[in-house]
Structure 1
Amino acid sequence: MWYYMEFRRRVGREGALKFLILWLLSENPRNGVEIINEIERMTWGWWRPSPGSVYPLLSSLSKDGFIVKMPDGRYQILEKGLEEIKEVLPPRKPRTVEDILNEIEGYISYLEEIGKDKISHYKSKVEAIKIRLEKLI
């Protein structure tokens, strides 16, 4: 929760999309559609930014020297963009086993809420995870 509050304080509501775009581009170059789709995937469908928000922001980020548009239409982050991300992200504490288990528990709660019918085609993957977890205890 603290990370979220600190993030909101540093970037504000309007800066969230800018930060997300820079963060996604720090992983690998993407085009606008890939950015929109990835944000939708990351938020489990709760937020799909409109092209009318994303493309003008990409243009602005390019003009300001944070990113560059490559000949294939994808955008690549530049050093200035990487520095911007470092300024926004709070220092990350070392993760504990308890933190990781709490996060796993949260994901399990989410999967329980969406129901078996939504995850049934992932049964073999869930079984493989179950086997790996059983080996740990």
Structure 2
Amino acid sequence: MLIYIAIYTAVSLALLGWLAHAITRVANALAGCPDMEAGQRAGLRAAALSISTGFIAIGLGGLMAIGGALAGVNAPHVVALLSALGLGALCLGLGFTHAVTLLRGLMMPAPAQTAHPKGPWDAPANAPASGQSPDKAPA
């Protein structure tokens, strides 16, 4: 069983490192956009470092939990290994997708502030101020 745990550890850590490196590569590619200012590029690269570090921390915790469960699985060793690798790859892939989506969202310009639409809960424009009776409204 120790050889299977060693294989799981090596493959999952290699996948984690490769995906973390891919996050920074995606950020560098996005930062190469000619429409970005220098400050935005630096901010995007700093955000990529933060996102990549968080990805590594969360991914490593998940891989450790899966690896811990690998030893207690009552199945043939090869089946347990492949199941653990598949689950680990699935979880890391979902985290990678979220990280890249977050990076792309950082590139988008902030939405313009829009006026709050009036709804049925809002007072009409000509209504008296709160606490005043309708017949003593200021003129």
Q: TM-score range by the shorter chain?
A: under 0.3
TM-score by length of 2: 0.24
TM-score by length of 1: 0.24
Question: Which structure: greater strand fraction?
Answer: 1
The structure having more radius of gyration, on CA atoms, is: 2
Select the structure with the greater relative contact order (CA < 8 A; seq sep ≥ 6): 2
